[in-house]
Amino acid sequence: MRDYMCQDTIAAIGTPIGRGAIGIVRISGKEALRILKELFRTKRGNKKEEFEERRVYYGLVVDEFGEPIDEVLAVYMRAPRSFTGEDVVEIHSHGGIVVVRKILREVLKRGARLAEPGEFTMRAFINGKIDLVQAEAINQLIEAKSEVEAKVALRHLEGSLSKRIEGIRNKLLETKAYIEAAVDFPEEEVEILERGKVKEKLIEIKEEIEKLLKSYREGKVIREGIKVAIVGRPNVGKSSLLNALLREERAIVTEIPGTTRDVIEESVTVKGIPVRLIDTAGIRDTAEKVERIGIERSLEKLKEADVVLFVVDGSVGLTEEDKKIWELLKGRKNVIVVVNKKDAGLKVNCKDLKEWNRCVEISAKEGKGIEKLSEEIVKMVLLEPEAVFGGEEEVITSERHRELLEKAKNSIEKALKSLEEGFESPEFLSMDIDQALESLGMIVGKVTTEDMYDIIFSRFCIGK
Ligand code: GDP
Ligand code: ZN
């Protein structure tokens, strides 16, 4: 087994979220305090031999020649009462990044080694300071590509998902106790009574797991974003709509210009969710030239889209061409009809089109109705957008979590089946429950396997 207990002292710049004016150098490990003593001077330039834990010291950091680098605040946190569970020193300097780097260099010269990405977190996990879900959340937070994703990660980091999983685990343990009671008192009345209770509990647990599993769909949306295709005949305002959505969010990530003045694909965030907007070139400007077959082929491409925006020019009403596209889109659940050019007066409006239950009137030119449209897009992919954005709803974003929850659910279902057959073979029932407990335990890291470490921490502590 690889040795994950990193014995050496590590250091890194802890970039504060939001990047404030303060830079922090964080040191973790046995040598942290010694390094602080070597670097730190009081305002009068004296060495300091004693540092009380969890007190803030104001002074100077000096280089190897005793020359001051910056005025700093230093804090010492004695193991195990620190983030990593080891001795930790934090040096806060108010200088810019150059100064912070200088301080880090001094720390490294005195025997610390530069931390690998995530290594502080890994030590915190190994020392039992955080569980696996929280460790993963830190990674997710760092790599979050959108506001919502960061929010969800932060909640996981604060331990809310861990608590939910622990809650389910505790219920399973209780259920096991019921089963044992039934085995210990094999009289019939007890058995019937306990069987009812066990069943009730198991169903409750199953539903809780299912709820979490359902949220994975939303988690995927948050993590990977969605694809939105914009379709419609030429000149209805597809490109204008795309530009209006871009203006609304002002968060362009990539830009792939098309062959003409039209933009073909753009990434934006709509209500905090990463969205890839596709102005379907196929239908767009070729519809006149290409007959139905061509349009159908473009529509084929729409299958990948999570949401389809079907744009019509409300100021001219529905044309034959609109109706053709309409026929092809009919029956799809993920279509929003967008009646454009409201500013020019509508000959056809959403009331006329009520067989499409989702319809929004807009003016791409004036940017009207775009907010409402964004809301409709989000509603189509998230079951409870308010809960997700408000951070009240627990959302699974990790494939690893989903797999393990699925496993746990299967075990519970098996347990429910054996329960139907009575308590004749309670050991099977217990086995299923143990298996569910194990799967859930693996989510939070209560139960660990070697390859799990490898997968999650493979980048850390290599060769140590
Ligand atoms: P596309 O071919 O579907 O991409 O349509 P465009 O976005 O290129 O727009 C076609 C024409 O309609 C252009 O002259 C736009 O200025 C105009 N247009 C687009 N949206 C609106 C709108 O909301 N109101 C009005 N009055 N004109 C619009
Ligand atoms: Zn266009």
What are the structural domains of the chain? 10-129 (3.30.1360.120), 153-220+398-445 (1.20.120.430), 225-384 (3.40.50.300)
Q: Is 259 annotated as a binding residue?
A: yes
| Ligand 1 cavity residues, CB under 6 Å | 232, 234-240, 340-341, 343-344, 363-365
User: Residue 161: which residues within 8 A CB-CB, separation 6 or more?
Assistant: 133, 137, 155, 394, 396, 401
Q: How far is the CA of 79 from the centre of ligand 2 (A)?
A: 62
Q: Note whether 347 and 315 are within 8 A (CB).
A: yes
Among 231, 240, 261, the mutation site with the greatest number of ligand 1 atoms within 8 A of its Cβ is 240
User: Residue 289: which residues within 8 A CB-CB, separation 6 or more?
Assistant: none
Q: Determine phi and psi for 290, rounding to 5 degrees.
A: -95, 140
Q: How far is the CA of 260 from the centre of ligand 2 (A)?
A: 9
Using the atom order of ligand 1, give the atom closest to the CA of residue 311.
3
pTM value? 0.60
Sequential pLDDT tens for the chain (464 residues) = 334 455 789 999 876 544 556 788 999 999 999 999 999 999 899 999 999 999 999 999 999 899 999 999 999 999 999 989 999 999 998 767 788 889 999 999 999 999 876 778 878 888 888 888 888 887 777 777 777 777 788 788 778 888 999 999 999 998 888 777 766 666 665 566 667 888 899 999 999 999 999 888 778 787 778 889 888 888 898 888 988 888 765 433 333 333 333 446 677 778 778 888 877 654 444 444 444 445 565 666 677 888 999 999 999 999 998 888 888 888 788 899 999 999 999 999 999 987 777 999 999 999 999 999 998 998 888 766 666 666 667 888 888 899 999 999 999 999 998 888 765 667 788 889 999 999 999 998 876 666 555 555 554 443 22
Q: How far is the CA of 37 from the centre of ligand 2 (A)?
A: 66
Give me the amino acid identity at 403: E
Cβ count near 47 (within 10 Å): 11
Q: Is 334 annotated as a binding residue?
A: no
**Closest protein CA for atom 22 of ligand 1:** 341
> What is the interface pTM, i.e. ipTM, of the complex?
0.98
Q: How far is the CA of 235 from the centre of ligand 1 (A)?
A: 6
